[in-house]
């Protein structure tokens, strides 16, 4: 038996790609060229399967990428919630207008409010807000509402654990497990100062890294109590408590330019070696 044979099969592809990393509102301009100005959109590739988390303006670039490949797209889209910065790219997602493609769209925060995802998105794409209705998207769509806390299994071998978050109107965190590895996407959430969220600590335990809502810093956080967001420092504290080796700061404040994010990245690495600041186009292998 050779060394290669004794090592067993190579791990299957498990990648995280960032297409939009901002929160609140897109912020294009000379100060955001390096990290990007599009709002929330993350693609996770598990083997041959594609999972998309949030449909902020970053999903437009993902759609252009899919269209350029020239082949049919079959993907699941999981929404953390339906605040506008997390869904405002969906009407401009080019593959949604091709009958060759197939999408399943999931949301875990609406049932508790007596609502459902399809009519919410129909409102987004109805007059006088948008000229093309949701039904004008020719791709095959299916819509799935669940309650945050459930485990989703969109494909064989892929498990998504979900967790409700502290955010106005509700939001859902996702833990993606595939091929014996795990990563977590935890946005949008507001922490309680001095009291780490034990449910998040348990949720992310065993993950290789956590993507975390880092809109604010500890210094300015008290000014935004009730707004539903957290800080990169709290992300560090959660990672340390759960023994997660890497933090990826995400949902950047639109007022933080590239130089600001450089400084946050340096401070985060000093607090937790290996910490990263999410930027558009960044690809992480799990």
The CATH number given to whatever domain includes residue 151 is 3.60.15.10
Structure confidence by residue, pLDDT tens digits, 239-285? 999 999 999 999 999 999 999 999 999 999 999 999 999 999 999 99
Residue 253: inside a domain:
yes
Specify if 4 maps to a domain.
no
pLDDT the model gives residue 30: 97
**Is the pLDDT confidence value at 3 over 50?**
no
**Structural domain includes residue 6:** no
With 90 as the cut, is the pLDDT of residue 143 above it?
yes
Residue 169 lies in a domain: yes
- The b-or-e profile of 258-286 (16+ CB within 10 A means b, else e) is bebbeebbeebeebbeebbbbbbebebeb
Is residue 188, in this structure, part of any structural domain at all? yes
Query: Would the pLDDT of 7 be above 70?
Result: no
Query: Alpha helices, DSSP H only, in the chain?
Result: 3-6, 58-69, 117-124, 198-204, 232-242, 258-271
Is 134 inside a domain boundary?
yes
Residue 10's pLDDT is 76
Residue 87 has pLDDT above 50, yes or no: yes
Does 285 map to a domain? no
Q: What is the mean pLDDT of residues 225-235?
A: 97
Could you list the residue range(s) of the whole structural domain that residue 57 is in?
A: 12-280
Question: How many structural domains are present in the chain?
Answer: 1
Cα angle, residue 19 at apex, residues 250 and 265 outer, rounded to 5°: 35
Peptide bond into 188 cis (omega under 30): yes
pLDDT above 90 covers a percentage of the chain that reads 94
Contacts by residues 7-13 (CB-CB < 8 Å, ≥ 24 positions apart): 11/179, 11/180, 11/181, 12/46, 12/47, 12/178, 12/179, 13/45, 13/46, 13/47
Higher pLDDT, 77 or 11: 77
Quote the mean pLDDT of the chain. 95
Instruction: Flag whether 58 is in a domain.
Output: yes
């Amino acid at each position: 038996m050779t060394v290669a044979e004794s090592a067993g099969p190579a791990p299957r592809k498990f990648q995280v790609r960032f297409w939009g990393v901002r929160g609140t509102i897109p912020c294009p301009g000379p100060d955001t060229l390096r990290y990007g100005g599009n709002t929330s959109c993350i693609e996770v590739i598990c083997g041959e399967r594609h999972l998309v988390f949030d449909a902020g303006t970053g999903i437009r670039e993902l759609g252009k990428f899919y269209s350029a490949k020239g082949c049919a797209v079959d993907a699941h889209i999981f929404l953390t919630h339906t605040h506008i910065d997390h869904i405002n790219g969906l009407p401009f997602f080019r593959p949604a207008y091709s009958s060759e493609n197939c999408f399943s769209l999931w949301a875990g925060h609406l049932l508790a409010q007596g609502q459902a995802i399809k009519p919410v998105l129909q409102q987004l794409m109805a007059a006088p807000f948008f000229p093309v209705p949701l039904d004008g998207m020719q791709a095959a769509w299916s819509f799935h509402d669940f309650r945050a806390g459930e485990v989703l299994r969109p494909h064989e071998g892929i498990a998504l654990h979900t967790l409700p978050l502290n955010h106005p109107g509700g939001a859902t965190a996702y833990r993606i497990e595939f091929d014996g590895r795990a990563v977590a996407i935890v946005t949008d959430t507001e922490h309680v100062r001095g009291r780490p969220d034990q449910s998040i600590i348990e949720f992310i335990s065993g993950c290789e890294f956590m993507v975390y809502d880092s809109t604010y810093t500890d210094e300015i956080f008290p000014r935004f109590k009730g707004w539903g967001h957290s800080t990169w420092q709290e992300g560090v504290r959660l990672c340390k408590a759960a023994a997660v080796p890497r933090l990826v700061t995400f949902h950047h404040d639109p007022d933080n330019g590239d130089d600001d994010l450089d400084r946050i990245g340096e401070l985060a690495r000093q607090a937790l070696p290996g910490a990263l600041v999410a930027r558009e186009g960044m690809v992480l292998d799990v």
